[in-house]
A and B are shown apart, each in its own frame.
Chain A
Amino acid sequence: MSTLFLQFLLQIIFLTIVFLHITKKNLDAIFAYGIQSLAILILLINSFFETGDISLLFIALLVCIVKVILAPGFFAQLIKKNELIFSASTYLNMPLTLVVLATLTAMAHSYRFSPITNIIPANETLLSLALSTMFLSLFLIVNRKGALSQIIGILSLENSIVAFAIFAGLEQSLGLQIGILFDISIWLIIATVFISMIYKQFGSLDVTDMKKLKE
């Protein structure tokens, strides 16, 4: 696959995270996450064709089943069941959020992070973009008040790390593959159990309703 197409996929991942910051509807957020996971899936399949490593195909299959089909489906069902059409608001207002997004993106492209974005010098721009998706995902978790958005933020952070690893030439690392496999399983369990528990106890998924532990 051409570098241009890979760059396009990474831009899709980046844009989906920006969209996750902007959107107010939970279903739109789930859809954006599904698209993001699909982009990761295509990147993994591309790596399989380039390297011939069969384990990558297995990981891609797993990503397809869990991240592209199961997780979005599960979240959509949860939204439908609990009528959670709109997500909880953000801590920062929209203009400020956009300013922070721009700052974080610029930060990822700064010389401070050049040691890691230069791991493969030919991919420096792509690695900087992948790093900025990591920062934006982190900010999504911090800035969103909804438990569902926070989970999507964590899953998005994981997608960003995978994207970075692929462009850093680490996709064949057994460590990455085992790590992805394990993380997916863990978060599927957590999302399944905890979202329901929170909704049952607090009547909403807005984490600002959690005030029992304030001293």
Chain B
Amino acid sequence: MYQTELLFILISLFAAALLCFLSRNRRLIEVSSLVASGIALMESVAISLQVAHFGANVSGFFSTDALEAVIMLIIAVVGFTSTVYSIEYLRRETSKNIIGLSGVSHLRSRVREYFILLNLFMAMMFLAITVSSPIFAWIFIEATTLSTAFLISFYNKPSSIEGAWKYLIINSIGILLAFFGTLLFFPAMNSGIGNGLITWHLLATSAANLDPLVIKVAFIFIFIGYGTKVGFAPMHTWKPDAYSRAPAPIGALFSGALLPVAFAVILKFKMITDATVGSLFSQNLFIIFGLLSVAIAAAIIFVSRNYKRLLAYSSIENAGIMALGFAFGGLGIFAAMLHMVYHSFIKSALFFSSGNLLLAYHSAKIASVRGVINIIPVTAVLFLTGFFAITGAPPFGIFFTKIFILSAGIKEHPFIVATVVLLATILFIGFLKHASAMVFGQPPADIVKEKEGLWLIIPPIALMALALLLSFYIPPFLYTLLNKIALHY
């Protein structure tokens, strides 16, 4: 069940990557990538509907339960909008000489390289989340490191190489620690099942037989390892550098899709750990790292001078909030998952808006961007709305999810909840200060008003509209999936 749909997604993405590799026709490269991400979106919706109605499938090389279905939806929506945005964005960057390479053939090969890596990146994320083996999940997450490292260094400038190198080194350490943690889950299993491939389902059903002390240490390694990919503080240091150097649509995929994928892998291990050692152990880890992430983001927000780095710190904060939701349990889990959905859509829209800002102002420095409302008004509205939405201002869903998460924890952890409220207020003021300074004020003399590209504003508008719609109406199938996640994780 669902295997055909999944294969269809993967085949279309790999076929698009292959076509990009073989073709020199820019139009063909763009269309093939667009079609592949479109197919991925349609099939993901179909799979999610089926999982909501008929339940999970845990047999075979791929497994699809409620968590995987929701993450697939997120990857597909963010992936499709990123592809649409990338096409026009790269065209503009090429025409404005931002890609920074001379020669038509060289530029064409860079664009081709971009779309090959984009399709592979998406395919690896789909594989990492749906594969039924923890080791293969690890392999595919490591594969995302490789494809994304080259996307971060896409502009081939010293700062891009630096960002990519930091990302590579820090994430490689994290991913190796996650590998070690994953291996530690296996000793108790080996005697029972021989040397075959151990699946998530098998681990979950055998959780009672695992050694609790080993599992505790293993989960710490897992949490630190995959937590590096999520960007929990203090393993977050690669994030601002990588986000600020990567092309805007790649930043959207990093924050909107890769973060949930890595988070979901931690949740899968959390479920097994909870069954072996009880929920208190993982709960404490989630609280410590969650609170630290929100605190680090709040501490840095005022001194940040780059608006793309600002988005990175916002992702760190939101990852922290989600971690707290999963730690508090019950309604907190439901709200944390919904928070993940909202965050992915709104943050991606913000990254697209940041791309528009970069195209208009040729600078990622907050101080260089003034009077956006006069230069690119639609983007200005999107950017400001996005900032309100991501910091949890009503009527956007993040306002409600934050309230639900905090209310889930207020009885048992009142001090933590009070601290988070304080930190969230600091973050809101910090974001507002930067965003209002950028949107209003006098634009620099050398920046002229220009017509905003339709395909540069449709993807962020669509994502913001979707986030707003989901704030007031959750479709029944999504509601069912989120409920199932809250029950299982």
- Spell out A's residues near B (CB within 8 Å): 53, 113, 115-116, 119, 134, 138, 141, 147, 150, 154, 157-158, 161, 164-165, 168-170, 172-176, 178-179, 182-183, 186-187, 189-190, 193-194, 197-198, 201-202, 207, 210, 212-213, 215
Inter-subunit contact A176/B183 (CB<8 Å): yes
Inter-subunit contact A173/B183 (CB<8 Å): yes
- Within 8 Å of chain A (Cβ to Cβ): is B453? no
Min CB–CB distance A113 → chain B (angstroms):
7
Query: A134: which B residues are within 8 A, CB to CB?
Result: 180
Q: Which of A150, A154, A165, A178 contacts B176 (CB 8 A)?
A: A154
Chain A to chain B contacts (Cβ below 8 Å), 17 pairs: A115-B211, A119-B184, A154-B172, A154-B176, A170-B183, A170-B186, A173-B195, A174-B197, A175-B134, A175-B135, A175-B186, A186-B145, A186-B146, A187-B172, A212-B162, A213-B163, A213-B244
- Interface residues of B, count at CB 8 A: 54
Which residues of B195-250 are within 8 A (CB) of A?
195-198, 211, 213-214, 216-218, 241, 244-245
Inter-subunit contact B165/A178 (CB<8 Å): no
Min CB–CB distance B276 → chain A (angstroms):
12
Inter-subunit contact B172/A175 (CB<8 Å): no
With contacts A213-B241, A213-B245, A215-B303 taken as known, whether A190 is within 8 angstroms of B133 at the C-beta atoms is no
Query: A115: which B residues are within 8 A, CB to CB?
Result: 211, 213-214, 216-217
* Closest residue on chain A to residue B150 by CB atoms: A193
Inter-subunit contact B213/A154 (CB<8 Å): no
Bound-state Cα–Cα, A186 to B173, Å: 13
- Within 8 Å of chain A (Cβ to Cβ): is B169? yes
Interface of B is mostly: helix
Interface of A is mostly: helix
Q: Which of A113, A154, A178, A194 contacts B135 (CB 8 A)?
A: A178
Inter-subunit contact B183/A165 (CB<8 Å): yes
- Within 8 Å of chain A (Cβ to Cβ): is B92? no
Which residues of B293-308 are within 8 A (CB) of A?
303-306
Bound-state Cα–Cα, A150 to B167, Å: 13
Map CB proximity to A onto B427-467 as digits: 1 under 8 Å, 0 otherwise. Answer: 00000000000000000000000000000000000000000
Contact stretch, chosen from B153-161, B333-341, B351-359, B393-401: B153-161
- Within 8 Å of chain A (Cβ to Cβ): is B324? no
- Within 8 Å of chain A (Cβ to Cβ): is B68? no
- Within 8 Å of chain A (Cβ to Cβ): is B416? no
Bound-state Cα–Cα, A164 to B183, Å: 10
Inter-subunit contact A119/B168 (CB<8 Å): no
* Closest residue on chain B to residue A213 by CB atoms: B241
Which residues of B124-170 are within 8 A (CB) of A?
133-136, 138-139, 142-143, 145-146, 149-150, 153, 156-159, 161-166, 168-169
Inter-subunit contact A210/B195 (CB<8 Å): no
Query: B214: which A residues are within 8 A, CB to CB?
Result: 115-116, 119
- Within 8 Å of chain A (Cβ to Cβ): is B419? no
* Closest residue on chain B to residue A157 by CB atoms: B176
Inter-subunit contact B168/A161 (CB<8 Å): no
Inter-subunit contact B190/A170 (CB<8 Å): yes
- Within 8 Å of chain A (Cβ to Cβ): is B347? no
Query: A116: which B residues are within 8 A, CB to CB?
Result: 184, 214, 217-218
Inter-subunit contact A212/B158 (CB<8 Å): yes
Q: Which of B133, B146, B218, B304 contacts A175 (CB 8 A)?
A: B133
Inter-subunit contact B176/A172 (CB<8 Å): no
* Closest residue on chain B to residue A211 by CB atoms: B162
Bound-state Cα–Cα, A179 to B156, Å: 30
* Closest residue on chain A to residue B185 by CB atoms: A175
Q: Which of B159, B173, B197, B305 contacts A212 (CB 8 A)?
A: B159
Query: B186: which A residues are within 8 A, CB to CB?
Result: 170, 173, 175
Inter-subunit contact A173/B169 (CB<8 Å): no
Q: Which of B138, B183, B309 contacts A215 (CB 8 A)?
A: B309
Query: B179: which A residues are within 8 A, CB to CB?
Result: 161, 179, 183
Bound-state Cα–Cα, A215 to B243, Å: 14
* Closest residue on chain B to residue A116 by CB atoms: B217
Inter-subunit contact B183/A141 (CB<8 Å): no
Inter-subunit contact B168/A178 (CB<8 Å): no
Bound-state Cα–Cα, A193 to B161, Å: 11
Q: 10 extra interchain contacts, Cβ-Cβ under 8 A, other than A165-B183, A176-B183, A183-B179?
A: A119-B187, A161-B179, A170-B190, A175-B186, A186-B142, A187-B172, A194-B168, A197-B153, A212-B158, A215-B306
Which residues of B368-396 are within 8 A (CB) of A?
none
Query: A183: which B residues are within 8 A, CB to CB?
Result: 142, 176, 179
Bound-state Cα–Cα, A133 to B161, Å: 30
Inter-subunit contact B180/A161 (CB<8 Å): yes
Inter-subunit contact B217/A169 (CB<8 Å): no
Query: A154: which B residues are within 8 A, CB to CB?
Result: 169, 172-173, 176
